[in-house]
């Protein structure tokens, strides 16, 4: 059971923010997101995971990034990646590929990890405003684990209102391990006097009987 839980926790530590995926950053611009998710274990005990995610438009057709994640000092990773466009179908959507390399750890032991992602993204026009949908499929290779497979879906509105909805669904399959899923409905909050965007959500996943609180801060630069 301990090895199963370890494998699942390590597999979940490579998720970026909702605005990643098939879209590249404009050359010379960037984006940073800091996220914390807290689950209550018992009356005075809490479990948390935190992440720092950075994207930068290095070239017109290349976006570089950094994804750092930590789970209470027990497990985590640091991953460098590059995103490249595959094809833009206009209103029908677009595809992009992402290749990453880095390292992950369990307690004080570190090992290499590699990740390949294929992303599809499409803008949406709805009666409630403009939005987007993104589907990301990924393979992760870690030296002491079977190949990890992921399929994630993100959809939300970007109407420019003070509040917009956001939904994230994440799934992970590790051969020989229980199937993992998480669902996080959120609200995107854009204060008019600040240049930052706040995201507040409730995460329910396959490992916890009670939902957790997810708070993120996004900022463009």
CB 130 within 8 A of CB 91: no
What does the pLDDT read at residue 42?
A: 74
Tell me the C-alpha distance between 94 and 19, whole Å. 14
For the CA atoms of 193, 196, 199, 200, what is the dihedral angle to 10 degrees? -50
Q: Looking at the whole model, is its pTM more than 0.85?
A: yes
Structure confidence by residue, pLDDT tens digits, 83-136: 999 999 999 999 999 999 999 998 888 999 999 999 999 998 888 888 999 999
- The fold adopted by the segment(s) 2-220 is Porin (2.40.160)
**DSSP 3-state assignment of 72?**
coil
Kindly report the number of other CB atoms within 10 A of residue 149's CB atom: 15
Beta bridge partners of 46: 40
Kindly report the number of other CB atoms within 10 A of residue 193's CB atom: 4
What does the pLDDT read at residue 20?
A: 63
CB 148 within 8 A of CB 11: yes
């Amino acid at each position: 059971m301990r090895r199963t839980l370890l494998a699942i926790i390590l597999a979940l530590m490579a998720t970026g923010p909702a605005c990643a995926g098939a879209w590249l950053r404009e050359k010379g611009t960037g984006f940073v997101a800091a996220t914390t998710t807290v689950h209550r274990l018992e009356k005075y005990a809490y479990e948390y995971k935190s992440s720092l995610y950075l994207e930068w438009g290095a070239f017109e057709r290349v976006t570089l990034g950094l994804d750092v994640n930590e789970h209470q000092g027990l497990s985590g990773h640091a991953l460098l990646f590059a995103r490249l466009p595959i094809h833009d179908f206009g209103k029908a959507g677009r595809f992009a590929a992402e290749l990453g390399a880095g390292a992950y750890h369990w307690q004080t032991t570190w090992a290499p990890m590699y990740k390949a992602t294929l992303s599809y993204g499409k803008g949406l026009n709805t009666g409630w405003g403009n939005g987007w949908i993104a589907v990301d499929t990924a393979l992760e290779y870690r030296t002491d684990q079977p190949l990890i497979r992921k399929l994630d879906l993100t959809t939300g509105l970007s109407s420019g209102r003070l509040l917009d909805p956001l939904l994230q669904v994440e799934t992970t399959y590790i051969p020989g391990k229980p199937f993992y899923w998480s669902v996080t409905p959120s609200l995107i909050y854009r204060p008019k006097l600040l240049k930052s965007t706040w995201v507040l959500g409730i995460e329910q996943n396959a490992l916890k009987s009670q939902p957790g609180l997810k708070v993120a801060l996004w900022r463009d630069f």
